[in-house]
A and B are shown apart, each in its own frame.
Chain A
Amino acid sequence: MTYSEKSDQELVRLCRRGDERAVREIISRFERPVFSLIYRMVRDRELAEDLAQEAFVRTLNNLRRYDPSYRFSSWLFKIAYNLTVDHLRRKELDTVSIHGAPDAVSPDRQAATSITLAASDERPDELLEARELGDEIETAIGDLRPEYRTAILLRHVEGRSYEEIARTMDVPLGTVKTFIHRARAELKEALEHRMLEP
């Protein structure tokens, strides 16, 4: 069985024994979801990389504290979320724009802090349409409060259950439902005119 076929729990067990390939597999398996979550929260590539790096380092250096009765990814997301929220609280970077972080004062900085969507093989007009809608969705998500943003991203982008989100964000289940309900209401207000078009 190759490392990419192994379960998260199995990889963690190997990591604890000092298996470097297992550590690399964990990083490659989760670097995109973790980085994306942080990136969508801070809207700064460099900062997102630093925070994601810190999240992985803390997670991998503290594997002894991991409770295997929970999903490993929930624990990793929890560490990443806490680091990001701590940073946002320190910087008071609550509202962000698709066109760059609010503290982006130069064109270079705006370019560095704006989200670039991946290209696809759609027709140019469809691609433009999809990109515009994608931009609007990203903007609407960026306008949400960090708690709402995290909850909605974990629920819909990462496909996490309410219980996992509650554990990740360290809040009661009812609070998660409230976050997601309010996030959807705000997204609906911002996007309904585009989303329900035929």
Chain B
Amino acid sequence: MKDSQTDHLTADEIERLATETTAEEPHTSAKHLRTCGACRREVDFLRALDRRLVALPHAAPSAGFEGAVMARVRMPVPWRKRAVEALRPRWAGLAAATASVALAVGAMSYWLFGVQQLTPSGLAAFVLDSARVLALRGLIAAGQLSYSLGLTQLAESVVAAGWAPALAALAALGTAGFVSMMIMWRLMQVRISRPRVARR
């Protein structure tokens, strides 16, 4: 058991006496303090130190501190807002595309099956016939163009002179050379990854 006359106070007891002003001081500690100058000095010093340290001013950061922190903080976004934000552009685009396609299909169907009174097989025949007509018109236009540019006459003179096989061979060689060059160029771009070897 502690003897209030001889045993000095512990660090905890000194701190309690120095910092807790309202609490009742334990009888033995208070009694010891009245008779022990060393412990009294300890308590007095701690009281003075605490008073001084509590009074130490808080240093303030610069005026732009808050703004600098805010610029780097990733503000959490509520999940509902996040979902709407994430889906809004896709939804808008998807809805517009779907509406456009539906409108076009509806209008076309109405015109073909309503106004033109077509059946599905009639529609298929109409589509095939239209494609055939378009292809023929394309061929005819290409022939007219080559004739007006003089390509037809040129081809006739090449065939008449017997240069056709040589030209065909040259074209084949040129094509093969071009393809080979493209392959080489592509291969030069490929980086071969090798396992890293530690230096000794």
Please indicate the chain A residues that have their CB under 8 angstroms from the CB of B65 in the complex: 27, 31, 35, 49, 52-53
Please indicate the chain B residues that have their CB under 8 angstroms from the CB of A191 in the complex: 49
- B68 interface contact, C-beta 8 A: yes
A53's partner among B11, B53, B68, B74 (CB-CB below 8 A) is B68
B56-98 contacts to A, CB under 8 A, are 56-62, 65-66, 68-70, 72-78, 81
Tell me the minimal C-beta distance from B25 to chain A in angstroms: 20
Please indicate the chain B residues that have their CB under 8 angstroms from the CB of A63 in the complex: 76
Please indicate the chain A residues that have their CB under 8 angstroms from the CB of B44 in the complex: 196
B72's partner among A20, A35, A53, A117 (CB-CB below 8 A) is A53
- A124 interface contact, C-beta 8 A: no
Least CB separation from A118: chain B residue: B57
B62's partner among A49, A137, A138 (CB-CB below 8 A) is A49
Least CB separation from B68: chain A residue: A53
B-binding segment of A11-19, A68-76, A89-97: A11-19
Docked Cα-Cα span, A177 to B10, in Å, equals 12
Docked Cα-Cα span, A133 to B49, in Å, equals 11
Tell me the minimal C-beta distance from B74 to chain A in angstroms: 5
Interface majority SS (helix, strand, loop, mixed), chain B = helix
**Number of residues in A with C-beta < 8 Å to the partner?**
47
Please determine whether B48 and A24 come into contact, CB atoms closer than 8 angstroms.
no
* Category for how many chain B residues contact A: 20 to 34
Least CB separation from A19: chain B residue: B75
- A148 interface contact, C-beta 8 A: no
Please determine whether B74 and A192 come into contact, CB atoms closer than 8 angstroms.
no
Please determine whether A36 and B59 come into contact, CB atoms closer than 8 angstroms.
yes
Please determine whether A156 and B53 come into contact, CB atoms closer than 8 angstroms.
yes
- B7 interface contact, C-beta 8 A: no
Interface majority SS (helix, strand, loop, mixed), chain A = helix
Please determine whether B45 and A57 come into contact, CB atoms closer than 8 angstroms.
no
User: B53, B59, B68: which has the most chain A beta carbons within 10 Å?
Assistant: B59
- B139 interface contact, C-beta 8 A: no
Least CB separation from A116: chain B residue: B59
Please indicate the chain A residues that have their CB under 8 angstroms from the CB of B49 in the complex: 156, 184, 187-188, 191, 195
Please determine whether A18 and B11 come into contact, CB atoms closer than 8 angstroms.
no
Please determine whether A18 and B41 come into contact, CB atoms closer than 8 angstroms.
no
Please determine whether A137 and B52 come into contact, CB atoms closer than 8 angstroms.
yes
Please indicate the chain A residues that have their CB under 8 angstroms from the CB of B41 in the complex: 196
Tell me the minimal C-beta distance from B166 to chain A in angstroms: 74
Produce 1/0 per residue, B148-179, CB < 8 A to A.
Answer: 00000000000000000000000000000000
- B129 interface contact, C-beta 8 A: no
A60's partner among B52, B62, B73 (CB-CB below 8 A) is B73
- A28 interface contact, C-beta 8 A: yes
Please indicate the chain A residues that have their CB under 8 angstroms from the CB of B11 in the complex: 177, 181
Inter-chain pairs besides A27-B69, A61-B72, 7 sampled, C-beta below 8 Å: A15-B76, A27-B70, A35-B58, A115-B59, A133-B52, A137-B52, A188-B49
